[in-house]
Amino acid sequence: MSEDNPTRVVIQSGPADQPVAATDAASLPQSDFQSQNSFQQRLLQFTITLAPQQSTGQPTSFASSGKNTITLDGFRASVRIQNAGTPSKVQADFRIYGMEDSKMQQLAVLGQIFNSVQKNSILISAGNPNSGFAPVFGGTIWAAMPDYNQAPVVPLIGSAQSGYYSGVVPIPASSFGQSTDVATIMSQLAQKYQPQPLQFENNGVSVQMPPTYLPGTLQQQIARVARAAHINWQIINDKKLAIWPIGGSRTSITAIPLVSAATGMIGSPTLSPNGYAVVRSIFNPQISFGAQIQVQSAVVPQANRKWVVQKMDLELDALTPRGRWRQILYCYPSNLPAPAPPSPGGG
């Protein structure tokens, strides 16, 4: 299936293979970018692309369509995403119920053995048909297997990481024989990303690097430059390489979303001893890793300021009674170099 014309498979699954009633899905919490006065379904969308030239023997197209890409819509599904920034990779764990058995078998991956990973890519988006879908994760599926112990409603349970192969497969060394702007170096490294070059986003980095030799994997080369230049970097959804100064933010994202009780904040902010604010909110696609938010709390006025999102966890359930639709934000004040984020249970 081509990326330009994917086949959209619409299946609604629930207990005993019965469609989930709209009233069940409507019980999901409502997002702050929609009216809080009406209930709407919250849906997850999965676009999976089979890798070409498989060394594992996996077919490069789906038998039912003859295409290499499939878009799964309307499934009961759950996603948990952890994004702590570099050097950690963004990790997504997902469950999709109601898929055809043949497709689940084709996508099965034994992730313990590196050479058995098929390099299939996945793009996960969240939203609804009215407001549209926003991408929340892009990466490589490194583990996936159907769980037949949950029959008759068998889920495909999988895990994916952004930048999976660029972090483990060495590439030819990069060499810059004279003083070079860091943005120029990073832009050239972004062009070496596989299976396709990354877009490049520079957020106010203006640093010169002396003559430089960069061996190792692509991510090792990017990390060497970032450490030397004292900057942050992140691969966003396997589509973009973003860089910004330590203590700064992704200023190319000009909108600063308000997080308050009126816009979907859950409970009150928690202030950590190392300077972090931990904020829970209904999922808002306008909030981005590395960008700023404005917190407003009547209970914890010390948190009322602009913060930079340094870690972001998403908990998204679609067509699931009592499911979650929220994000947990670990934020640090702008213009200060942030230490490691607190643990999820820390406060």
- Write out pLDDT tens, residues 42-70: 999 999 998 876 666 677 888 778 899 99
**What's the confidence (pLDDT) of residue 53?**
66
Angle (CA) 125 130 132, round 5° = 30
pLDDT surpassing 50 at residue 194: yes
pLDDT class of 182 with cuts at 50, 70, 90: very high
In whole angstroms, give the CA distance from residue 215 to residue 313: 32
CA distance 243 to 233: 4
Q: What is the CA radius of gyration of the chain?
A: 21
**Is residue 235 within 8 Å of residue 262, measured between CB atoms?**
no
At position 125, the amino acid (one-letter code) is S
pLDDT at 24 over 70: no
Burial of 100 (0-12, 13-18, 19+ CB in 10 A): middle
What 3-state DSSP class applies to 42?
coil
- CA separation for the pair 287, 282 (Å, rounded): 11
Burial class (CB in 10 A: 0-12, 13-18, 19+), 10: exposed
Residue spans of the domains in the chain: they are 7-166, 170-245, 258-333
In the structure encoding, which two tokens stand for residue 112, read together?
């313990």
CB 138, CB 238: distance < 8 Å: yes
How far is residue 154 from each of residues 72, 138, 149, 150, 225, measured CA to CA in Å?
Answer: 15, 24, 8, 5, 45
Which of 3.40.50.1100, 1.25.60.10, 2.40.128.110, 2.40.30.150 is the CATH number of 258-333?
2.40.30.150
CA 141 – CA 161 distance, rounded (Å):
7
Please write the tens of the pLDDT for every residue from 144-162. 999 999 999 999 999 999 9
Gap between the Cα atoms of 48 and 6, Å rounded: 10
The pTM for the full model equals 0.84
pLDDT in tens, 103-140: 998 888 765 555 556 788 999 999 988 889 999 999 99
Answer yes or no: is pLDDT of 143 > 80.
Answer: yes
Position 15 confidence tier, pLDDT thresholds 50, 70, 90: very low
- Pairwise CA distance, residues 139 & 164, whole Å: 7
Tell the residue number behind the tokens 């969308």, with chain if given.
45
What is the dotted CATH code of the domain comprising 170-245? Answer: 3.55.50.30
CA distance 145 to 143: 7
Looking at residue 278, its pLDDT comes to 97
What's the chain's average pLDDT? 85
> Does this chain's domain 170-245 share its CATH topology with 258-333?
no
- Range from 280-289, 307-316, 335-344 carrying the lowest mean pLDDT: 335-344
pLDDT surpasses 60 at 323: yes
